[in-house]
Structure 1
Amino acid sequence: MEFICHPAGAANRSTVVLRGKAAAPGTCGELVQGTIKGEPYLISCPIDLWSEVEVEIRESAEIRDGLGKSCQAAKLVMEYLGLPATPVTIKRVSALPESKGMASSTADIAATCQATARAFNQELPPEVIAAIAAKIEPSDGQMYPGITISNHLTGEPRRYLGEAPPLELVVADPGGKVDTVLFNCRQDLASKNFQKEPMVRQAIELVTRGILTEDWEMMGRGATISAQANQVLLPKPHLAQWRQWAADFKALGVLVAHSGTVMGMIMRPDGVAVEEAAAYIRSKRPDWVIWHTSMVSGGLR
Structure 2
Amino acid sequence: MTGPAGSVDRTGRPGGGPRPTRLPGPAGVGHATGHHGEILQGVFLDADGRPCRGLVTLPLPDAGSAAAFVRRPGSPATGLDVVPADRHKARRAAAIAVRACAGLAGERPCGGRLWLRGSTPVGIGMGSSTSDVIAAIRAVAASFAVRLPPETVARIAVRAERACDPLMRDDTAALFDSRRALVLEEFGRPLPAAVVLSCVTGGGRPVDTLALPTPPRREAPAFEELRAALRRAVRDADLALLGQVSTESARRNQRLLPKPELATLERVADRTGAVGVQVAHSGNVAGLLFAPDPPDLSDRLRRAVAQLTAYGLPVGRIFDISAGRQTWCTTTSPTRWADRTWSGSTTD
Does the CA contact (< 8 Å) of 1:21 and 1:118 recur in 2? Answer: yes
For 2:43 and 2:313, locate their aligned partners in 1 and report how far apart those are by CA, in whole Å. 34
Q: RCO (CA 8 Å, sep 6+): is it higher in 1 or 2? A: 1
How many residue pairs are counted as aligned between the two chains? 279
User: Alignment identity in percent?
Assistant: 26
Pairwise mapping of residues 142-161 of structure 1 onto structure 2 (< 5 A)?
142-145=167-170, 146-161=172-187
Query: Quick check: 1:120 aligned with 2:128?
Result: no
Residue number in structure 1 paired with 2:124 = 100
Q: Report the CA distance between 1:218 and its aligned residue.
A: 0.8
Long gaps (5+) in structure 1: 1-14, 184-188
Does the CA contact (< 8 Å) of 2:198 and 2:286 recur in 1? Answer: yes
Deviations 1:109-137 (A, max 9, x none): 11111111011111111111111111222
Residue number in structure 2 paired with 1:8 = none
Does the CA contact (< 8 Å) of 2:272 and 2:304 recur in 1? Answer: no
> Of residues 314, 319, 324 in structure 2, which corresponds to 1:288?
314
- TM-score after normalising by structure 2: 0.73
For 2:64 and 2:322, locate their aligned partners in 1 and report how far apart those are by CA, in whole Å. 11
Does the CA contact (< 8 Å) of 1:199 and 1:229 recur in 2? Answer: no
> Of residues 235, 239, 242 in structure 2, which corresponds to 1:212?
235
Residue number in structure 2 paired with 1:225 = 248
- TM-score after normalising by structure 1: 0.84
Residue number in structure 2 paired with 1:40 = 53
Residue number in structure 2 paired with 1:5 = none
For 2:199 and 2:95, locate their aligned partners in 1 and report how far apart those are by CA, in whole Å. 35
Q: Report the CA distance between 1:164 and its aligned residue.
A: 3.6
Query: Quick check: 1:170 aligned with 2:197?
Result: yes
Runs of 4+ residues over 6 Å off in structure 1: none
Query: Quick check: 1:134 aligned with 2:158?
Result: yes
Long gaps (5+) in structure 2: 1-22, 46-50, 81-85, 325-348
Q: Secondary structure at the residue paired with 2:282? A: coil
Residue number in structure 2 paired with 1:62 = 77
Query: Quick check: 1:269 aligned with 2:289?
Result: no
Matching residue's letter, 2:132: D
Q: Secondary structure at the residue paired with 1:170? A: strand
TM-align CA RMSD:
2.5
Query: Quick check: 1:242 aligned with 2:265?
Result: yes
Pairwise mapping of residues 182-197 of structure 1 onto structure 2 (< 5 A)?
182-183=211-212, 189-190=213-214, 192-194=215-217, 196-197=219-220
Q: Which moved more, 1:253-262 or 1:66-75?
A: 66-75
Q: Report the CA distance between 1:196 and its aligned residue.
A: 3.9
Deviations 1:237-281 (A, max 9, x none): 100100111111211211111111111211111243375256324
Does the CA contact (< 8 Å) of 1:32 and 1:44 recur in 2? Answer: yes
